[in-house]
Amino acid sequence: MDEVLFRGSRKLEIMQVQAQLVASKTKEVFATYSQATKALISQAIHSNQVEQLKQNIAQLIGYVLEVTRDFKYQVTNILEPRRLWIFFSTVLGGKWSRREVGIACISFVIGGAVGLGVGLIIRRRETIYRYMEAIQISHYLGPEGATVVEDAHAPYECGQHDVLVEVKASSVQIIDAQICCGYGRTFRRILRRIYKQSSSDLPVILGRDCTGVITDLGKSVKRLEIGDEVWVTVPFWSQGTLCQTVLVSEARVARKPKNVGFEGACSIPYAGSLALSALTEANIDFSNAKDKRFLIQDGCTPVGCVLIQLLNNWRARVTTTCYKRALPVAKALGATDIITIDDSHYVRDVHEKDPQEIREGDQKLLLKELEVRGETFDVIVLTRNDCVDLSGFCTKNGRILCTAPEELLSDSCGFFSRLLLTGYVKLKIVIQNTLGLPSDTFDEAHLCHATLDRLTEMVEDGVLQTVVEKVYHPKDIEVALNHVQSPHSIGSTVVTFR
């Protein structure tokens, strides 16, 4: 054991001696290199190149200081009032007095201020875009082309006679489905350019009426107030109401009835305006409608529901056609006589037969029923444009009216035909405005606040009841459009934005 300890201590002593030798050598090497580095640095500092660099830097600094002093002296001399006065006097021939120069300077300042103000006034304002949810079409592909967009441009600034309405609900009409297929595209392009709404007929926001709350008014609008609950109608060529915010002329806005909600009220504005327009065209009102015989084809459409109620209130004899499932509604609206069509085949064969074939079968049944009855009518109102000819069932002086959108020949116009039509429409509008004549039919004059006020009174007096079958959300617009085209729909179809 002692031997092991002895050998271990000897090894430690050897390692200690070697460590001391290494440390001593390292110190000597570091001292040698340190002295060599100091000598090198000292030699570099005192070399000719470094001395020359110092001289160049000193000369550059001196030059910069000299230029700065010279610039300061020149600026001081130039801006000295007396020197300026001598300069301008020399340039202007020495004929100007101090008073004249003062007036000239004041005039220059005033002119500059005025020019700046005018420039700020007439400068092009930066376009501000606000966005909203809207149901629109960008192509005429049919109802399946209707889409919900989140970035439609939202109106926010009212003209003098405009009203800004926050939409709560909007109805879906048959005309909306036809617009999806291109209805009115030529007139839409022409009239939207004339009324400075757009330079194109696309995209089109769907919807022809709505209910909502006024959020802003033009300066010249006195009939309405911010916060009023209103309903709105717009013509076929204008941007629609199936969106969160609409900007319309005050002429197309009226306060909605207080006794109905937003969704229910949507069943009245557009359909009611069409119904009153048709009756006015036939010279029918409460004073002469009593005991006259009316046939309302498909009386459970939105327009048919309004017509039945109005004529019933005016004590006319109303006969209407409807499917069996709508029979309770037709009775409740006040129809005197109801021609029902068996719709069991529709449920059974809807997936087996073409819808057009089914409609033709229904029309044959209607003709057979009318022939069996042998009754004639003073006025026949067609609420759909796919009905058969019923002129044989009119009295001698009877009339047939159609409230459904009629086919527009302008939709098939070529380029040169559109040019001629554009010139004709512009000329007609100029003549009407010059002579103070009422708007033409393409402007749909019946869609106005006077008609809406009349409808409001009728609803509040209990003459008209709202009829709404289904309420959809915007995302279900394709389903809503297909439903409103079905002959089996009852009343109005509504889209809510609440």
SS (H, E, C) the chain: CHHHHHHHHHHHHHHHHHHHHHHHHHHHHHHHHHHHHHHHHHHHHCCHHHHHHHHHHHHHHHHHHHHHHHHHHHHHHHCCHHHHHHHHHHHCCCCCCHHHHHHHHHHHHHHHHHHHHHHHHHCCCCCCCCEEEEEEECCCCCHHHCEEEEEEECCCCCCCCEEEEEEEEEEECHHHHHHHCCCCHHHHHHHHHHCCCCCCCCCEECCCEEEEEEEEECCCCCCCCCCCEEEEECCCCCCCCCECEEEEEHHHEEECCCCCCHHHHCCCHHHHHHHHHHHHHCCCCCCCCCCCEEEEECCCCHHHHHHHHHHHHCCCEEEEEEEHHHHHHHHHHCCCEEEEECCHHHHHHCCCCCHHHHHHHHHHHHHHHHHHHCCCEEEEEECCCCCCCCHHHEEEEEEEEECCCCCCHHHHCCHHHHHHHHHHHHHHHHHHHHHCCCCCHHHCCCCCHHHHHHHHHHHHCCCCCCCEEEEECHHHHHHHHHHHHCCCCCCEEEEECC
**Higher local confidence (pLDDT), 11 or 251:** 251
Task: Give the pLDDT score at 243.
Answer: 93
Distance CA(412)–CA(349), nearest Å, equals: 35
Q: Which residue has the higher pLDDT, 147 or 2?
A: 147
How many angstroms separate the CA atoms of 271 and 176, rounded? 13
pLDDT of 347 reads 46
* pLDDT band at residue 252 under the 50/70/90 scheme: very high
Query: How far apart (Å, rounded) are the C-alpha atoms in residues 140 and 157?
Result: 30
**What are the tokens at 351?**
């997936």
Ranges 167-181, 210-224, 356-370, 404-418: which has the least confidence: 356-370
DSSP, collapsed to helix, strand or coil, labels residue 468 as strand
List, in sequence order, the alpha helices (H) in 47-145: 48-78, 81-91, 98-122
- pLDDT of res. 437: 66
Highest mean pLDDT out of 55-59, 113-117, 227-231, 386-390: 227-231
Least confident of 8-12, 401-405, 450-454: 8-12
Please report the pLDDT score of residue 75 as a whole number.
Answer: 66
pLDDT tens string 396-428: 888 888 888 888 787 777 778 888 888 888 887
**Mean pLDDT in residue range 290-307:** 90
Query: Which one is predicted more confidently, 351 or 246?
Result: 246
Does the CA dihedral 214-219-222-223 come out positive or negative?
negative
pLDDT over threshold 80, residue 349: no
pLDDT at position 183 over 60: yes
> Closest by alpha carbon to 172, among 488, 380, 441, 469?
469
* Residue-range domain boundaries for the chain: 1-33, 34-122, 131-266+407-462, 275-402
Mean pLDDT to the nearest integer, 138-166: 89
Q: State the pLDDT at residue 350.
A: 44
pLDDT of 145 strictly over 80: yes
CATH classification for the domain delimited by 275-402, as one of 2.60.40.10, 3.60.140.10, 3.10.20.30, 3.40.50.720: 3.40.50.720
Determine the Cα–Cα distance for residues 488 and 325; give it in Å rounded to an integer.
8
Instruction: Give CA–CA dist 270/122, Å, rounded.
Output: 41
- The residue to which tokens 């109608």 are assigned: 233
For the question of whether the overall pTM of this predicted structure is more than 0.75, the answer is no
Q: Which CATH number among 3.40.50.300, 3.90.180.10, 3.40.50.720, 3.90.1580.10 corresponds to the domain 131-266+407-462?
A: 3.90.180.10
Percent of the chain with pLDDT over 70: 80
Contact by Cβ (8 Å): 168, 230: no
Q: What is the mean pLDDT of the chain?
A: 81
Query: What sign does the CA torsion over 459, 460, 465, 470 have?
Result: positive
> Is the model's pLDDT at 140 over the cut of 50?
yes
Report yes or no: 462 and 312 within 8 Å, Cβ to Cβ: no
